[in-house]
A and B are shown apart, each in its own frame.
Chain A
Amino acid sequence: MATGETQLDRTLPGSGARVAVGQKIDPGKLAFRVGFLLLLAFFTILFLYPLVWLLSASLKPGSEVFSGGLIGSSLMWSNYPKLISDQPVLQWTWNSVLVTVLASSTVTISSALVAFAFAYFRFPFRGLVFGLVLAGMMLPGAVTMIPNYLIWDYLGWTNTLVPLWAGNLFASPFYIFMLRQFFLGLPRELFDAARVDGANYLRMWWSVALPLTRAALIVVFVFELKVAWTDLVKPLIFLRDLPTFTLPAGLKAIVDNPSIGGEKHFELLAVGGVIVTLPMVIVFFLAQRYFIEGIATTGSTGR
């Protein structure tokens, strides 16, 4: 742990100790720590300021977006109703929520199903098949994009929300890989006990394996939440009419044409940016632990 290192510092006096004889607090070390914190604070501002600016621009009069401080001559809360009345923003929001919830739940369940097969059963050519799953992880989306479009078009589902989530019914390699790791961590005796009680495999998966890997399932769910909510490529390919758009597609439409009555409204770009971003920020704070845990495990297990 990082906290352990400070303890270690105390037990192994550094070079600063000579300067501060007899003093409890080492000024050299203190200055170092303060400087360090200032540097970190500087980076924090660098990362957070753009978002603060976006929020600020969304609340300014249109003519002041690029000028003045963070607060304009007046707080224009009315920018929000203005965009909502000018564009079908509420419809886009509903579409986005629908797609995101469906995409996340289907991919979590289907990936957990597949992952369990690789973790629990021994079956012929398991290693080979799992290799095929992993190979799918590095496949660029572009290679399957055109036929996927043709398939959904053939089924008559272009210009609907179905192609934006239905592919997730068929599991995703990355999540299969991740969940398999977690299932492998469960003691096998648990399942043997369930078998003795007469549970079939599907029941065992549902009532023994899934509850015990809840945290991992939530990680997958929130990961996909972010992926599905932010996706622009699928909406660009599959959706044509404004009312079918998701929020990212809607924001792109506003970027393409930010004028109302021949006048450009840059503050409305910022309003759109806030509306598409804010839900993700809220989800992040609610599920921060899962986001961070998920990314951290990805990095250490992704071999």
Chain B
Amino acid sequence: MTAGIQGREVRVIGGVPWTRNTRQDLKWVLLFLSPWIIGFIVLTAGPMLWTLYLSFTNYNPIRPVTNFVGIENYARMLKDPHVLNSLYNTIFYTVLHVPLSMGIALLLALMLNRIGGRSAGFFRTAFYIPNVTPAVAVGTLFLLLLNGNSGVINGVLGFFGIDGPSWLNDPTWVKPGIIIMSLWTVGNTVVIYFAALKNVPLEMYEAARIDGASAWDQFRNITVPMISGALFFTFVINTIASLQLFTEVYTMFFGAQQGQSSGAGDAAEFYVIYLFHEAFEVFRMGYASALAWLLFAVILVITVVQIRVSRRFVYYEGE
């Protein structure tokens, strides 16, 4: 390809005219990009391929011999009850956590937007504070709050005459307890929605009111489309994060625990927790690499589907 610049024919490479300036600046570009280039090769792309390679071996750092085992790891995953169980738990959590957190965050953000002014700032801060709590402290805190016999949450339920379940020991109630915990840190999403709501032009509501549109009509036809960018963003990000839930649950139920809450059993086994166990607790790194690639594939597929679907629904200003 060529393009005429200043009356001369100049080659175009990668969308940029290949002029003397471009050539001279290129070494600067490489200098500026160097942290990312090195990181990408050494810490991202290289390790990804390395993981892929390991997934076809039975690599175990505490065993001297490593063999190439073909697709054996992948075949084993299909029959591994822990894979099925942890996938089930993870999807169960994601399917409940993502819509619940989005719904509650939207409700709170709408309330903040309605109240306005200084008090909105105060409440926003209050809602956000749990998010600065380190995940390991969140896990520790809810280990105490969700205690079946004497925790605060069952205390409150008892006040209303409800006999609260054993959140930490009863397999039926372990995941609902984890979801309650996850909703405590919904403030991050509230801040995003509140910022988006403030950007909706008030004239739109004014015009709608003059046309006699009800509050619900305004919400459905103005608010939701106008903040659809933020809704979609949190939908994708929260989904990706939910599929990788680890720290809080690991803190509560796993590790070198000495008789904390052993009854939870398989109900709290999430996918990344099982992956971590295989890789760093029993050192079956070949198998764990296969598990990692499955996770990558699942996240990739879900994200691509979400982006495809969003093209229909998401409104971006200036498009």
Interface residues of A (CB under 8 A from B): 1-6, 8, 12, 33, 36-37, 39-40, 43-44, 47-51, 53-54, 57, 65-67, 110-111, 113-114, 116-117, 121-129, 132-133, 136, 138-151, 153, 167, 169-171, 176, 201-202, 205, 226, 229-230, 232-233, 236-237, 247-248, 251-253, 255-257, 259, 266, 269-270, 272-273, 276-277, 280-281, 283-284, 288, 291-292, 295-300, 302-303
Contacts and interface: CB of A to CB of B under 8 A. Distances in A.
Interface stretch (B84-92, B112-120, B168-176): B112-120
Contacts of B280: 149, 236-237
A36 B114 contact: yes
Label chain B's interface by main secondary structure.
helix
Contacts of A148: 43, 47
A255 B134 contact: no
A146 B145 contact: no
A248 B36 CA distance: 28
Given A114-B33, A269-B144, A273-B140, A300 B230 contact: yes
A142 B244 contact: yes
B16 interface: yes
Contacts of A270: 140, 144
Given A2-B114, A146-B292, A303 B316 contact: yes
A123 B257 contact: no
B224 to A, nearest CB: 15
Contacts of A138: 240, 299-300, 303
Nearest to A173: B36
Contact of B135 (A44, A232, A299): A232
B135 A230 contact: yes
Interface in B32-89: 32-36, 38-40, 42-44, 46-48, 50-51, 54, 61
B42 A170 contact: yes
Nearest to B195: A296
B137 A144 contact: no
Contacts of B188: 295
B36 A114 contact: yes
B129 A5 contact: no
A133 B36 contact: yes
14 contacts: A2-B120, A12-B206, A54-B144, A139-B48, A150-B50, A201-B28, A236-B276, A248-B137, A253-B256, A255-B251, A255-B260, A269-B143, A277-B132, A295-B192
